[in-house]
Each structure stands twice: as C-alpha cells, then as structure tokens.
C-alpha cells in the first residue's frame, strides 16, 4: 500500500508539471506569433499633442550604496521640468538619509521638482510608501523605479505614447541586467528573469491574458491605481496584487519587450534568498487573495483563467518539484522490487516531454538575448542544466515561502540588499546591510545533498540509470546552495 501511495503521488506530481509545461508551450506559441506581428497600437504623437504631467516615485529603504546612482540617473531623464515631479519616498532608518538629502538638494538647485518624502512609521512597507506619495502626486501618470534601476534618458518618451488608448492602465518595460556576468549566481538569475520578461510577459500580453506590473520599471495611469483600490500591503508582492485587481476592473496592460530598463542583480546568495522568498510567498498570497475573484468572473475567458492559475501558482511548482525529487529515490527501489510495474514506468516516462517543452521555451528567450549561433546554443545547454539544478537546490527555501503564503503566515517585507556591483572587480565584502544569520533551511539542504548522493549510488547499485541525470542535477544543485550559503552565512 505504501508503494502504491508513493507511485500515485509521484505520478500526480509529474502530471501537474506536464500540464504546467503545456501552459508554457502555449505562451511560446503566443510569443512566436507576437514576433511576427507589427505593433499597430494607438499612440500619442507628442510632436503635436501636449505632454502630460508625470510623477516618478522612488521608494527607498536604507539604500546607501545605490542612492546616488539612482537619483543622478533619474535627474537626467529627458522631460520638461514643468511637467515632471519626482518623489523620493524614503523610509530609511540609517546613515543613507543624509546622503539622500544632500543629493536631492543638489538636484533641486538644477531646477528639478524633486521632493524628499519621509514617514514616521513604515506602515505597509513599499506599498504604504507608494500610497502615501500618491495622495499628493501631481502627475496624471505615475512611474515607479526601485533603487537599483537605471532607466534610459528617453524612457518616458518610449512609454507614455501608449496611454493614448484610454483603456491602458499600465505600461511595463523589460528588465535588463547591469551585472549579468558577475558570477554564476547572477548568470542564473538573469537566465530566469530573461525567460519571464521575454517569453512569459510577451506571451501573456499578446494572448490578452493577465500580466503583472513587476514592481518597478513601469508606469501607471493614476486613475487606474485609484479605480483598482490603490496600493495594499497585505501581501508581499503588492505589484502582483494591484495588477490583478486592475485587470479585474477591465484595465488593459501594455508590455514593451523592446524597451529595456537595466538593474542590478543580487550578488550574494543570502540576498537572492530574501528576494526569492518575498516573490514566492507573495505569489502564493495573491493566489489566495485574487484567484477566486478571477475564477468567478464570467467576463474573463477560460484562457485567462487557465494562465492566471499557473501564473499565481508559478512559485508553487517548487513544492511539486521538491515532492517529486524526494519521492524519486524510493521510486527507484519500488521499480526494482516490482518488475510487474515496468510497463507503468515506461508509460509515465512520457512525461519527460515536459523537459523538451521547457528546453524549447527557455532557448527561445535565451536566443533573443544571446543570438542563435552554434556556440550560443551549446552555452545555452550548459546554462539550462545549471539553472534547473540550482533552481531545484532552492526548492526547500522556496517551498517554505510558498507554504507560508498559502497558510496565511504573516511576515515583514524584507528588502533585498543592493551593492552597486557592475563588474567582476567590484566587491560586496563589507556591505553594512549583510547580516550573518544562519538559516535552518541550510541544514535541510545539506541533508538533501547527501540524500541525492545516495540516489546516485543507488543507480549503480540497482543498475537503473533512468533517473541518474535528474539525481546528478539535484545533487549538484543542493550542493551549490548548501556550500554557497555556508560560506556566505557562517
């Protein structure tokens, strides 16, 4: 009975991943269609039409290392000064406050309408700061940039024209990466984000399914924010929450793949962990908060409900993958001890088609950035294997985040430390925002590293190599996360 239960759960996990891969395949098809379509969206012609008032909001919290780069870059954005307002929403509690104040005074001296807005209490975290600033914002349109982003000088003129269509509530741009090649950790983060910002966002937007404002590098119609119920801090991903509430109010989003807004990737695994935890827990919280409304809305298409399900449960795939990985070892022994089940295992091996689908999807996004040469293809193969290995290594950490989100455990908004790292010569050593906190999750990751070492041994013991590559990826992925975390946190 135990063997049967293991096989049933293992099969269901494979089935969920296969259905999820089909959703990604549909996004790939949409993306390929989008690349062959001319953008004929209605746009303002600002050579003859009046420019609107714009407010740029810059939410800050203890950003000593990047605040100067941020503010001086924002000060270079090309837009009439009498139409532009900049709000520095500074909830900082450290020595960055004085530095921020000095730079703001310098920019004010150049004629910029830039305000240093501070709150006594950090109520609602980032969402609360944005909401507070919105109360006094002069702009008809509200652009938001996190502290590690450096938009181009023409950014407003590349995004604002799309608001000619009065149904458009948000224009979102693609994230770029200032320090993509700093380390293996930054390369795999860029690999994942490129996939989201190229294939997923474009595929969903082209298919007229719900997409999300990504918290930064986008611009809102102020009316849309207010109509959707304003910013809320009751989830850790306030951007995803407001996005779904706005689209449920029939606002449309416009995604611009060709407008890149560069930003800095976390270079320390503890920083990547905190960011991953917030994103994954927030997505689960938003599934709980918003998917029921989406499902009950008769005006929303089946396609949008289908993609919305996997969009909001995207992070929950870590739970499925972890379950699948842990069960794969007893499955080896069940298969060995029950030859009568051979036919069944041959059938479920067909679910390996999921891997081919993911391979095609990720390659399409990778080729968009790196080209389609033979050399680029082989680099992609290595990165594909490396990325999924390390992603599985993060599965314990991310699964705990997802479970907290689904079960409603509240936690603070933990900011991701910024470093102002642009090249391999720059160092993060001595960053005052890094804390040496040993996570209990690391112990579990170390035990799983040993567990999948045993799985590799079992392949040779049982002379069954069907799952060997999978177990090698798990062994190396958990090993990478475990040893990198020990080095960073101890």
Rounded Cα distance, 385 and 389, in Å: 6
Catalytic residue among 91, 146, 148, 241: 91
Rounded Cα distance, 416 and 80, in Å: 33
Rounded Cα distance, 139 and 435, in Å: 39
Structural contact between residues 60 and 146, judged by C-beta atoms closer than 8 angstroms: no
Catalytic residue among 90, 194, 239, 241: 239
Q: How many helices (H) and strands (E) does the chain have?
A: 18, 7
The DSSP symbol for 45 reads -
Q: SS in 3 state form for 285-326?
A: HHHHHHHHHHHHCCCCCHHHHHHHHHHHCHHHHHHHHHHHHH
State how far the alpha carbon of 384 is from the alpha carbons of 2, 178, 327, in Å: 35, 21, 23
Structural tokens at position 43? 């746009």
Structural tokens at position 476? 């190396």
Q: Taking CA 251 as the corner, what is the angle to CA 41 and CA 201, rounded to the nearest 5 degrees?
A: 65
Per the annotation, the verdict on 464 as an active-site residue is no
Q: Which of 15, 12, 22, 16 is nearest to 358 (CA)?
A: 22
Rounded Cα distance, 202 and 197, in Å: 7
Residues with catalytic function: 91, 239
């Amino acid at each position: 009975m135990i063997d049967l239960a293991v096989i049933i759960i293992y099969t269901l996990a494979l089935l969920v991943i296969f259905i999820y891969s089909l959703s990604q395949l549909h996004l790939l098809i949409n993306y390929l269609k989008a690349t062959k379509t001319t953008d004929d969206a209605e746009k303002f012609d600002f050579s003859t039409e009046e420019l609107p008032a714009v407010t740029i909001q810059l939410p800050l919290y203890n950003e000593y290392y990047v605040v100067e780069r941020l503010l001086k870059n924002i000060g270079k954005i090309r837009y009439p000064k009498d139409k532009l307002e900049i709000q520095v929403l500074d909830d900082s509690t450290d020595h960055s406050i004085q530095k921020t104040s000095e730079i703001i005074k310098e920019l004010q001296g150049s004629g910029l309408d830039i305000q240093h807005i501070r709150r006594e209490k950090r109520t609602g975290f980032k969402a609360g700061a944005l909401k507070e600033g919105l109360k006094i914002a002069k702009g008809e349109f509200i652009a938001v940039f996190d502290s590690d982003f450096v938009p181009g000088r023409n950014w407003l003129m590349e995004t604002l024209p799309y608001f000619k269509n009065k149904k458009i509530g948000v224009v979102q741009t693609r994230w770029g990466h200032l320090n993509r090649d700093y380390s293996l950790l930054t390369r795999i983060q860029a690999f994942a984000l490129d996939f989201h910002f190229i294939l997923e966002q474009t595929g969903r937007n082209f298919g007229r399914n719900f997409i999300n404002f990504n918290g930064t590098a986008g611009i809102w119609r102020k009316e849309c924010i207010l109509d959707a119920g304003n910013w809320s801090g009751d989830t850790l991903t306030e951007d995803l929450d407001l996005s779904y509430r706005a689209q449920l109010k029939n606002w449309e989003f416009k995604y611009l793949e060709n407008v890149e807004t560069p930003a800095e990737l976390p270079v320390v695994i503890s920083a990547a962990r905190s960011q991953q935890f917030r994103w994954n827990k927030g997505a689960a919280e938003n599934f709980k908060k918003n998917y029921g409304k989406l499902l009950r809305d008769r005006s929303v298409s089946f396609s949008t409900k289908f993609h919305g399900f996997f969009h909001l449960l995207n992070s929950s795939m870590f739970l499925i993958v972890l379950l699948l990985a842990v069960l794969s070892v007893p499955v080896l022994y069940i298969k060995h001890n029950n030859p009568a089940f051979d036919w069944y295992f041959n059938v479920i091996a067909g679910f390996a088609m999921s891997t081919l689908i993911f391979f095609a999807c990720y390659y399409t996004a990778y080729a968009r950035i790196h080209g389609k040469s033979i050399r680029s293809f082989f680099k992609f193969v290595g990165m594909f294997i490396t990325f999924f290995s390390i992603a599985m290594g993060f599965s314990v950490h991310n699964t705990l985040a997802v479970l907290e989100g689904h079960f409603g455990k509240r936690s603070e908004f933990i900011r991701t430390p910024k470093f102002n790292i642009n090249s391999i010569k720059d160092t993060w050593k001595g960053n005052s925002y890094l804390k040496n906190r040993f996570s209990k999750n690391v112990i579990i990751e170390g035990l799983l590293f040993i567990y999948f070492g045993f799985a590799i041994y079992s392949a040779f013991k049982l002379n069954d190599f069907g799952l060997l590559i999978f177990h090698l990826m798990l062994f190396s992925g958990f090993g990478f996360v475990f040893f990198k975390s020990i080095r960073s946190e101890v």
